[in-house]
Amino acid sequence: MRPLFPSHPFFQHHSHSMADHDINSPHSNPTDDCLLEQDLTAYWHFEREDSFRLDRRIIWSSVDSYLTVLGHDPPVRFPFHSPFLDMWNKPTCVYFEPSSYLTPYSSYPPRIFFAAVYEAWRHDCGEYWSPEYGHFMANPVLVTERGPKTLGDIADIHQEMCAFAKEYEPEDEHYRMHRSYPQVLLVCDKIDWAAAAKEDDGFVSLKEFAEQQTVLFVRTRAPGDISFDDLASHALPLERSDMGNLDVLRVPLSIAVKYMVALETHMGESQGKNPNRFDAELLSLDIPLGFDSSVRRHPAMWGAAMAEVARKHGNGSMEQLAWPALRIAAGVSGQPYELEQDPWRERWKPGYA
């Protein structure tokens, strides 16, 4: 949940004048217009994150056409979708071994794992968080019972896939394979269901789950200077005997996310926020009445266009104009209305302050 204007100076100094004004009126004053544009701009970002998270969730936690599956139909190993969008703009990938997801009730990775990764990544990135062009902490790869059996086999196939994908690297400058992607990978070989216990409030904390759930950090044989020195102090019992000559550590999932976020920055590949770099694939908002679709490409343009629609046609003219008035009125009254992302499940909570 993220308040739009919890400490906006306008609310601190102008609450009386706003309370006297009917915010639902189709005829708004310049001050209201400014607040409306701010609210709509924040809503633009909110909706894009909602779309992004839904896309990531589908890819990670279901048998989606964009999910890379190893051993599903030998000898075919590689995804057929082009141009390998799942490999671009991510610092690493997560291989899910059958022992981590195959049960009598499930044939794909548990959604709580992805939810925990998402919340940890979102939190650790802070102001540098960016969902543009598929940027995410990792790319999921499902290993079936007929797929690779050892960590060495996984590392070898990882190198094959990286080499194969590089042959089809897109010309679009927005997409690239991060330098760390061929060098490091994560393996999930078990799910710690005890980490998914409910707290006193009846919810499972995704933060607590990430701190208890473990993953294997594997340094592949690809050339590069990535070191695991910073991870050594967090290493847990490995419980594996199939490492070969690979560098492998078992660490909490939360530590793995922090390391990859820091590694992106260290390698100069942290995408960060760019006010003029927005992925058109995440544009799911309606086109303002009477405007060209291009106004959706930028938050300020869309907010200004929607505010103009409200001035001309009233707040009831488009569905996405109905809620800003309520949010602004709530903020004026001292009870900011919070936009809340669709919960992962009713029993989960992020767990971050």
Strand 92-96 relative to strand 184-188, pairing: parallel
The pLDDT value recorded for residue 128 is 86
Residue 135's CB is within 10 A of a number of other CB atoms, namely: 24
Domain residue spans in the chain? Answer: 2-45+283-349, 62-266
Is residue 221 helix, strand or coil? Answer: coil
DSSP-assigned states of every residue in 134-199: G--SEEEEEE-TTS--SHHHHHHHHHHHHHHHHTT--S-TT----TTTTTEEEEE----GGGG---
The separation between CA 12 and the C-alpha centre of its own chain, rounded to angstroms, equals: 34
Q: Which residues pair with 204 in a beta bridge?
A: 348
CB 5 within 8 A of CB 15: no
Cα–Cα distance measured from residue 309 to residue 321, given in angstroms and rounded to the nearest whole number: 9
Please give the chain's pLDDT, 353 residues, in tens.
333 333 333 223 333 333 333 333 434 444 467 778 888 888 888 888 888 988 888 888 776 666 788 886 643 445 555 556 788 899 999 999 999 999 888 888 999 999 999 999 999 999 888 999 889 999 999 998 989 999 999 999 999 889 888 888 888 888 889 999 999 999 999 999 999 999 999 999 999 999 999 999 999 999 999 999 999 999 999 999 999 899 999 999 999 999 999 999 999 886 666 666 788 888 888 888 889 999 998 998 998 998 888 888 776 666 666 566 566 666 656 665 555 555 666 789 999 98
What's the DSSP call for residue 21? S
Q: In 3D, which of 112, 124, 117 has the Cα closest to residue 94?
A: 117
Q: Measure the CA angle with vertex 199, ends 196 and 203; round to 5°.
A: 75
Q: Which residues pair with 73 in a beta bridge?
A: 76
The pLDDT value recorded for residue 13 is 32
Cα–Cα distance measured from residue 75 to residue 147, given in angstroms and rounded to the nearest whole number: 10
Q: What is the largest CA-CA distance in the chain?
A: 73
Instruction: Show Cβ contacts of residue 242 under 8 Å, excluding neighbours closer than 6 positions.
Output: 149, 150, 151, 152
Residue 53's CB is within 10 A of a number of other CB atoms, namely: 20
The helix (H) or strand (E) run that includes residue 339 is strand 338-339
Give the torsion sign (CA, 159, 161, 163, 169): negative
